[in-house]
Structure 1
Amino acid sequence: MTIVTKPFDTAEYLRNEEDIAAYLEAAFEDGDPALVTHALGVIARAQGMSKLARDTGLGRQNLYVALSEGGNPTLANFMAITKALGLAVRVEPIPRDAAE
């Protein structure tokens, strides 16, 4: 008997704002900017890159490049993308004992 597998695609499981927020928060917790960029790319695919381009006013091709592996979105693009996705980015202090 042959087992057929398919690649896991996180985008298929990002069904609502809570899923999306939890996924992006986990990427932030890791602390790797490349992972955050990757997570934004996955979220963009889940929501539809064309729709996101319209909602942000950014070119679709620019989004693909900025959110690709090795991409480096500007802070302005990051803010536009998160806003278009209905996400708010919050900043909170790190407890002193955890920062050392």
Structure 2
Amino acid sequence: MTEVSTVAVIIAKPGSSAEVERALRDLVEASHAEPGCLHYSLHRGLPDPNLFFTVEKWGSQGDLDAHLGSSHVAAALTAAGTLLAAPPNIMPAEPLTVGDPDKGVF
């Protein structure tokens, strides 16, 4: 089984960041309970409060696929959909360990 990392970039329309953040917080909490979720953190951009991103690590591609097809992802997209400046940009990634392996990979 190969772990899969993902970074998702979410941009709220101006004036909508509080509602988008609420939907994303709910999504993170539900995602933490999923089998195969090894890491799922939410971040807000600085200095742009309309920019959010998630950094995720899943046990396998199947775990990520199940997450993307889950009811709580659908609910978050429904809750935040009209409040987003663009569809979320979901980018699968593979970690490249550089330097200290304890600091170079999450």
Which one has a bigger Cα radius of gyration? 1
TM-score, structure 1 length as denominator? 0.29
Higher helix fraction: Structure 1 or Structure 2?
A: 1
Higher strand fraction: Structure 1 or Structure 2?
A: 2
TM-score, structure 2 length as denominator? 0.28
